[in-house]
Structure 1
């Protein structure tokens, strides 16, 4: 691989991580925000939900815009809006204002999630795309490792408002890298004929593509299980298990280490065994691990080391599921990669938002409702995989292997 390959992966990973950075860095502050703004757990969790909803839906707009105008202009707008909204969050004096600016953050941060995937598809397909996607995710996965630790340190010295000043700085760094280090990959000749009419036609085409939808929902259910953990883990690990914010950050980061370490094997395994086979085996391992965790903890072995061990293994398998499903879903849609990436991202996060809401309804301060939500998402991913592939092999399999 060339230096340029790694440079592109680094920049795309950083742009993709800006939005999630505002989540992961924010997690250790949730109990403190609730106390400072006089809001209960459910209302504080709404600040996460009201980030995810626009984060999911706005991708539907950014994708077609990036097909019509090129990849960089929508990125400039999105990351710039995210930076300005971060300032508003830092200055919020009540939970309603915070939630409103988190909503705007979600709209802006969506650009960094959807467009880098389209750029990967612009540049590569197949195993090479999977290798670039896994490198992108390596950088992206630094967020769950460094962000909670950084957030804990910032909170200790500057309070929870310091978190939002920090993500504002990260957004400006992203804008500088975007303007100076990343070339436009959607050339003018490829944009010819692109418009909102063609975007609607592309969305209709994608919604009829069972292969695309299957792969998207498999990845989306995997992401849902992680976001159920993300939304509930601060309260479970800090208030139920008694960890300090710093200890929580370390525990949270361990899962990210498992995820990104295993994800780096995607290119090698895909080249040797085929991306579809790797994905199917990874989904099976992921589901079995999370279901075993539910059974063991349901039987009364609900200690923190047990929870942490199962999550470490399960999210390792998930590190193979996410890049393989993303690459395979976009494989046949290079001409509308931005639109396809947008629909994929929206379906991912709408699925995750539904899972988070359902899990929050059963939250009782213990680990079991969270674990049940994670296991149900994993089982659903397995069922979708087996049901769809049992009828007919994915059309992309022959091309991928």
Structure 2
């Protein structure tokens, strides 16, 4: 392996694991959600509020964390965020009520947001075009470790030591991430580049991005793609346990299948982009995802209520996120190198804000059956398809954006 390839692999592993710390805080406690609700005397809607608090905090916090990474460099905001994340995780482990848990989950999300937005800016600092797409795919591949391992680890820890121990493990992961950051990730934003960065320029940057219709279309595509998965995250613990009678351990395995599928497709994303072009790959993946989820909705409405069918089609649909998510990020940020942190923050905010909104919209209809969850996921896929058909025409060209194909 050449030194260049070794460096790419090292950055992918470090950035991917740092990005994974926040999702671990979501995925690890999913199998224990019913048990936490029982212990704290909270109903499923109150427990979903602890998820939404995390989503909202991560989304809103990225609007600040992104510009801070442009102003002070990439490392310092992540260090501060990890310290807050660890303290909030310890607080969650000691929470006496669901209200306290929700508040601490909000703080935990604020701490996690820096490590979720900054790695994407680091990629943009170092790479562009197909190289950036390859790096994003490698990062997503490492990121996929979370939904594969976190629910299973969470169920094992909860079974062995109770649900509070899950948050203790999450705090330890934050400490490990801090040590890894300090040891292996150099500063990638030069001091000279930071001189012109301040909150006023950040606000101006957000204005530039919000007025860029091409950027916003791609950002909304990313947002609704991720939101469909968030609908699954918020509802699947109750659908699996109450409707299908799935144990926490088996739920962790079924949840991990989605990540295995995503991991498999993200591994070939770089090859597909190099051979067919990033826009063509993205268009095809979006159409395949919409068709898969649409089929699941039709079957569910027709009364097909079988766990293998639900698991298989969702595994295919969410696996395609391994092609959709990296491509939307790369294309959206391609024309905004000088605003990499701000652009990454805005996309990240839209992802988690969109997820919180979709979870809130589905929540009133959630009754433990699969249909409300599947309908919410299908709505997200339909929006992404419409945006893709309008934005990714083969001859499409936008001022200031270099096509990836």
TM-score of Structure 1 vs Structure 2, range by shorter chain: over 0.9
Which secondary structure state, in structure 2, belongs to the residue aligned with residue 27 of structure 1? coil
1: CA distance, partners of 2:209 / 2:340: 11
1: CA distance, partners of 2:284 / 2:205: 31
Match of 1:42 in 2: 45
2: CA distance, partners of 1:143 / 1:318: 15
Match of 1:17 in 2: 20
Contact kept? 1:211, 1:394, Cα under 8 Å: no
Q: Which of residues 181, 184, 187 in structure 2 aligns to 1:184?
A: 187
2: CA distance, partners of 1:142 / 1:319: 13
TM-fit CA distance, 1:392: 6.9
Match of 1:275 in 2: 278
Which secondary structure state, in structure 2, belongs to the residue aligned with residue 393 of structure 1? coil
Match of 1:256 in 2: 259
Q: Which of residues 360, 381, 394 in structure 1 aligns to 2:384?
A: 381
5+ unaligned residues in a row in structure 2: which ranges?
none
Contact kept? 1:85, 1:105, Cα under 8 Å: yes
Q: Which of residues 26, 29, 32 in structure 1 aligns to 2:32?
A: 29
Match of 1:400 in 2: 404
2: CA distance, partners of 1:79 / 1:201: 28
2: CA distance, partners of 1:57 / 1:298: 36
TM-fit CA distance, 1:399: 3.7
Q: Does 1:332 align with 2:351?
A: no
5+ unaligned residues in a row in structure 1: which ranges?
none
2: CA distance, partners of 1:349 / 1:370: 17
Match of 1:196 in 2: 199
Match of 1:227 in 2: 230
2: CA distance, partners of 1:310 / 1:244: 21
Q: Does 1:369 align with 2:377?
A: no
2: CA distance, partners of 1:392 / 1:34: 52
2: CA distance, partners of 1:258 / 1:94: 37
Q: Which of residues 144, 158, 162 in structure 1 aligns to 2:161?
A: 158
Structure 1 residue runs of 4 or more that deviate by more than 6 Å after TM superposition: none
TM-fit CA distance, 1:388: 3.2
TM-fit CA distance, 1:391: 10
Give the alignment's TM-score, normalised by structure 2: 0.97
Q: Deviations over 1:301-341 (max 9, x none)?
A: 12100101111111122210001101111111111100110
2: CA distance, partners of 1:397 / 1:204: 17
1: CA distance, partners of 2:54 / 2:352: 10
2: CA distance, partners of 1:229 / 1:81: 28
2: CA distance, partners of 1:177 / 1:392: 44
Alpha carbons of 1:394 and 1:253: their partners in 2 closer, same or farther (altered >3 Å)?
farther
RMSD between superposed Cα atoms in Å: 1.2
